[in-house]
Amino acid sequence: MPAGVAGGMSDLPLVVVADPIDADAVEQLRGGPCRVQDASADPASLAAVLPGAWGLVVRSRTKVTRELLAAAPQLRLVARAGVGVDNVDRVAAAARGITVVNAPQAATASVAELSVALYLLLVRELRPKLDGTRAGRWERGTSGHELQGRTVGFLGYGRIAREVARRLAPFGTTAIAFDPFVRTTDDGTRIVPFDELLSGSDIVSVHAAQTSENRHLLNAAAFARMRRGAFVVNVARGSLVDEAALLAALESGQVGGAALDVLEVEPPVNRALVEHPRVIVTPHLGASTHEAQRRAGRDVVEEVLRALRHEPLRHAVPAPEVRA
């Protein structure tokens, strides 16, 4: 048990909930061997409770910077209620011996389902039809294509991409993937080199983790190597796609359309891209279903409780390698 658990309530470790998570998960946390301060409704109140915090629960609003960590001298655990931890300075956390945990499985189904929905919107060319009907037009006629027979190329083949591939199978698609950390698969998806994925895909679907090495993984050179008229879908991180290069590829017709749930800057400032007639933009809501958020809250609270009880953690995020 953490120091003081056997003492009075005031001696229990303080866990601060900085961002909104599922209400049932907060109540579950209150039942654990800790005090809970829910600061999610008033971000300005966070600074006052950080000095005594043993644990900190965040989603994406709170940026766990070096400065924030310095303001929390007793902090031992940062719990991210979601998958990505790019809002946490993991180097600074590791230097302090602070453990970072997340909820990597919570949003898998939701992001996978959104991916398939975006594929269908693009391939069937539905955005112009939706816009036209809303504007009072009734524009029928032949348009769009079937998803059946298309090749979907996954950039990154982790948990979410595999779940997308499973959902795509009944459509009669072919799946290929590029992932430097995956050699073989057990689901029929073929692992191919990067260039082969670009030239061989009707839809290039981005699922890679964000690293310092893969910023603008899809850049002007990559778009030029794609099949003319292919589609781009990004449900991972905005920095993986060079938005200026994407806009130029859309204007030239090299890229037939794009669906983006993530952008380099959020909310977006590149209005030319957001308003392009062959672009669909959603406001980073891949993990925002009620089901995914319930799972994220539950999973991360269970991990906090395991840490409080000195039980083995299931979802500790590895400390980053620091290069000399």
Alpha carbon distance 247, 10 (integer Å): 56
DSSP 195-249: HHHHHH-SEEEE-PPP-SS-TTSB-HHHHHHSPTTEEEEE-S-GGGB-HHHHHHH
Q: Per residue in 21-61, pLDDT tens? A: 999 999 999 999 999 999 999 999 999 999 999 999 999 89
Catalytic pick among 146, 266, 275, 291: 266
Q: Per residue in 201-240, pLDDT tens? A: 999 999 998 888 899 999 999 999 999 999 999 999 999 9
Angle between helices 108-123 and 126-134 (to 10 degrees): 80
Q: Which SS3 state, helix, strand or coil, does residue 118 take?
A: helix
Backbone angles phi, psi at 232, to 5 degrees: -120, 130
Determine the pLDDT at residue 63: 97
Handedness of CA 260, 265, 210, 285 (dihedral sign): negative
pTM over the 0.85 mark: yes
Whether 321 has a pLDDT exceeding 60, the answer reads: yes
> Which of 67-71, 127-131, 275-279, 319-323 is least confident?
319-323
Catalytic pick among 76, 124, 127, 284: 284
* Six token digits for residue 204: 């290039």
Q: What is the mean pLDDT of the chain?
A: 94
Thinking of the domain 108-281, which architecture would CATH place it in? 3-Layer(aba) Sandwich (3.40)
Peptide bond into 267 cis (omega under 30): yes
Q: Which segments of the chain belong to CATH 3.40.50.720?
A: 9-106+290-308, 108-281
Alpha carbon distance 81, 196 (integer Å): 36
Give domain 9-106+290-308's CATH number out of 3.40.50.12780, 3.40.190.10, 3.40.50.720, 3.40.1190.20: 3.40.50.720
Q: Which SS3 state, helix, strand or coil, does residue 154 take?
A: strand
The answer to whether 284 is a known catalytic residue is yes
Catalytic pick among 35, 227, 237, 298: 237
Determine the pLDDT at residue 211: 85
Rounded CA Rg of the chain: 22
Handedness of CA 89, 110, 117, 195 (dihedral sign): positive
The answer to whether 237 is a known catalytic residue is yes
- Mean pLDDT over 270-292 rounds to 95
